[in-house]
Structure 1
């Protein structure tokens, strides 16, 4: 069983970056919660542990102590950025990082940039960097800190307000972590009972599979809504889905 430690930066009395109607602590928490859900739902042999699952404050030392005590195989600390002029995406490892941390950074950085470039135009790649940051310095396992666009740069903030960009950030983290750890996707039959699976079509085109449970068919909201030209915004903190046309 691989243990993944996901650290949602800031929280509680520490909002992190605040600009353009966005709060860093809220964005990174929703991203962290969804990364945990997707990794554990879609991959075998992985357990995802969180520094925080609610809006609470933890000191940096508390975060790394918890991760080290848990014996996590890797640590990924998730942040939003500020003060970067033209904005963009970047990742950090420790300045004296091991080769394994550098390898994790390379895989994760590439995966996130790939998913972002598929849904957003003009995402600046600020590169893979090294710094003396607590979360990557005090972690006893390969560790990387991701800075997912700039809240105080108008073009980046506009992107962060789009659900498709948040989903790309989540997917990039999941893909990168799974690739680095060599995780195997669960067989479809392990995720959805084959006997209860229902094919879902919109205007004659298959979009996804649903599940039949006690006479009620449950369909994936995002797949159906987007096929109808609607936008889906999922709030992982409040467990709420908002569909707008």
Structure 2
């Protein structure tokens, strides 16, 4: 499954604001967690993000990228705002779509899984003529994860544990909707391609950025070795040793001295 994951707003566009928060920051945090959960736990998943930092990108750039990528799904992550009085979670598909459409079927699954974990009032499943829903050539969904100007919702947005729960809800929905298989099926050996281990998280983040620029998905995993904290860059995980070795060579071709660990 090829996912185009779109944290809304960014750069010069902060999105909604309230309670000391900016939408662009909250949704980027959630989206990065979604990415890491997907590529760290499921087989045959690739995730392309519209942004991985605080950068400006137009709506047209986002949908054009997704269409050129040939993504299977477009998922846009947002927060809401409405004079401080509204609260809860809602999501959207395009207004022209029937409730029996494939997009609606996917949305029904994701909605159910997200609501299980986010602890927010369920405002329902809705439709709108948003650009990212209209101009994307694949099934698309936009989620509104609470109201940033509502004191109770904003208090949750400040909690890493809540943002992780929201991410897990999205990932559980994607796993159900696209029949994703967990890495290793929970048994046997797992071959992880490691593209570096660092004492500094900033250095590990730089390695991830470099790999992403080469089209290689990776993420930072914090591990404890002999009582010391290390930040390990994982660039793939496989149940098949040959597949792991093939990917290892792809990573090494970028000039990185990567290696495989078996778990």
Q: Indicate whether the TM-score tops 0.5.
A: yes
The answer on 1:190 being equivalent to 2:190 is yes
Return the alpha-carbon distance in structure 2 between the equivalents of residues 170 and 6 of structure 1: 12
TM-score by length of 1: 0.75
Q: Closer, same or farther in 2 for the Cα pair 1:218/1:104, shift >3 Å?
A: same
Q: What displacement does 1:86 show?
A: 2.5
Q: What displacement does 1:45 show?
A: 0.5
Q: Which residue of 1 aligns with 2:147?
A: 150
Return the alpha-carbon distance in structure 2 between the equivalents of residues 97 and 143 of structure 1: 11
Q: Closer, same or farther in 2 for the Cα pair 1:192/1:157, shift >3 Å?
A: same
Mean Cα deviation higher: 78-87 or 67-76: 78-87
- Render the CA deviation track for 1:195-233: whole Å, top value 9, x for unaligned: xxxxxxxxxxxxxxx9775x567699xxxxxxxxxxxxx
Q: What displacement does 1:13 show?
A: 0.3
Q: How many residues get paired?
A: 197
Asked if the contact 2:29–2:163 (Cα under 8 Å) also holds between the matched residues in 1, the reply is no
Mean Cα deviation higher: 79-88 or 136-145: 79-88
Query: Which of 115, 130, 137 pairs up with 2:127?
Result: 130
Asked if the contact 1:41–1:191 (Cα under 8 Å) also holds between the matched residues in 2, the reply is no
Q: Closer, same or farther in 2 for the Cα pair 1:185/1:219, shift >3 Å?
A: farther
- Which secondary structure does the structure 2 equivalent of 1:55 belong to? coil
User: What is the RMSD of the two structures over their aligned residues, measured on CA atoms?
Assistant: 2.2
Q: Which 4+ residue blocks in structure 1 deviate beyond 4 angstroms? A: 210-213, 215-220
Q: What displacement does 1:160 show?
A: 1.2
Q: Closer, same or farther in 2 for the Cα pair 1:96/1:36, shift >3 Å?
A: same
Q: Which residue of 2 aligns with 1:240?
A: none
Unaligned runs of 5+ in 1: 118-122, 194-209, 221-245
TM-score by length of 2: 0.70
Q: Which residue of 1 aligns with 2:65?
A: 66
Correspondence list, 1:65-144, <5 A: 65-83=64-82, 85-97=85-97, 99-117=101-119, 123-144=120-141
Q: Which residue of 2 aligns with 1:18?
A: 17
